[in-house]
Amino acid sequence: MARIESLCIELILPRTPWEWKGALIDAFERNPTFAPTHWGQSARVREPYQRDALERFCDEEGKQEDPSLPTLRRTQRPLYTANWSLGDGPGWLEVEAQMMLGPEEAAPYFDFANQLASVLPLEFGLVDIAFEGAPRALAMNPSGQQHVDAYVECGPTTLFTRTYFGPRLIKLMGGLPILEGSGGVVQRLANGVVALDLVANPWQVVEAKELKQHQQQVLGKLLPTDIFMRPDELFSEPGPRWVPPPAP
């Protein structure tokens, strides 16, 4: 079984996650497995974690025209870095594993992603994994994760190992039965967000090819919703029924 060489959680929100800072920070602090050990005013800075210092920085930095990105770190296993947007417009949060993962080590990251998605007003989100030695062509999205600007303009790019759909997006697609009939594994979270896994327990998948095959099968069932981006050689186009999230 190939090991997972990268794992990324990405959540897209209507505005900066800092508008829900209590829920955001509590989600990290109250999970003993993922409690941060360090923080910084940028990815290059590492200080012992102090909530009050983080809050002061984000409150002030968020007033700037081009704010820096705060960074949380955990330097004990499971290792990760996390950062989020502070500026205007749709917001985003990213958590990236900083270690090679076996199946039993990857599962807690998926659980933690659900915890975050359950307490934030999510628009769209994902958990994406890449297997050691797998060709780029077998990645869920060979160009990376979900680019926020592209999402706003054209809609979701594709499905990922786990994909989160917020209530607005579910309604736009035609309702929960659309996701339930896709062939993926559906989890309903307490705040109305739905997590769609390509397979049950996706961290136990043996190889990238298997996951890619399931992606194409499930995506094929959801493309008729017409909310997914239509890729083109030069310029991608919005899905015919795509409606961007309301401006903040």
Burial 217-228 (b: 16+ CB within 10 A, else e): ebbeebeebbbb
Angstrom distance (rounded) from CA 118 to CA 172: 20
- The pTM (predicted TM-score) of the whole model is 0.96
Q: Return the DSSP state at 202.
A: G
Angstrom distance (rounded) from CA 109 to CA 82: 12
State residue 113's pLDDT score: 98
The residues pairing with 168 across neighbouring beta strands, listed in sequence order, are none
Mean pLDDT for 87-94 is 94
Model confidence at 118, pLDDT cuts 50, 70, 90, reads: very high
Taking alpha carbons only, the member of 166, 199, 206 closest to residue 182 is: 199
State residue 247's pLDDT score: 81
Mean pLDDT for 167-182 is 97
Model confidence at 185, pLDDT cuts 50, 70, 90, reads: very high
164 neighbors 11 (Cβ within 8 angstroms):
yes
